[in-house]
Amino acid sequence: MTVAQRPVTAEELLTMPEDGVRRELVEGEVREMTPAGNVHGRIILNITTPLDRYVRDNGLGLMFAAETGFKIASNPDTVRAPDASFVRRERVEEVGEVEGYWPGAPDLVVEVVSPNDSYAGVEEEVASWLEAGARAVVVVEPRTRTVSVRSSRTEIRVLTEGDVLDVGSVVPGFSMPVADVFG
């Protein structure tokens, strides 16, 4: 006889020991995350450096690094940590300083596809971000050197190295060459 385990809560995830293992919580189930590789880390830095500078210079809100958890569902709880994220100033002012996980989805999510990620897994994660209220999800695919910008499950722009990445009204005025993402 198999005994069903009760779902883990966001509060329990937050109090797990800091042992160097990155974890997310999906519908009450803890999932360990593989550390990012060199290419993955470089791509995130290539995107977040100019994006963070632009956001700061224009007082648009806050950028968050990969270790930041967002509680995007309850009962059972889901806490995800994107590779990078942005929350608009208005929402930051409304919510204030948060000790635990940010309540809800960020406005912008950036995810870099790792070699061990499955297509289905990436699609599941994108869907969960959009369903939780993210206004845009940027997915970087190093193998094909493409970037997709998704604002709904059906609205997808696929960009190649000759294109310019922008996320429209989510971060108004920001743009960068897609080639620089992989630079």
Q: Tokens 């009962």 map to which residue? A: 75
The reported pLDDT for the residue numbered 53 is 98
Query: Tokens representing 159?
Result: 């960009």
Domains of the chain: 36-65+81-182 (3.90.1570.10)
Q: What is the mean pLDDT of each run of 10 residues along the chain (183 residues)?
A: 73 82 84 85 96 98 93 95 97 93 98 92 95 98 97 95 98 98 96
Q: What is the DSSP string of 103-145?
A: ES--SEEEEE--TT--HHHHHHHHHHHHHTT-SEEEEEETTTT
- DSSP letter at 34 equals P
Alpha-carbon span 25 to 80, nearest angstrom: 6
The reported pLDDT for the residue numbered 73 is 95
pTM over the 0.85 mark: yes
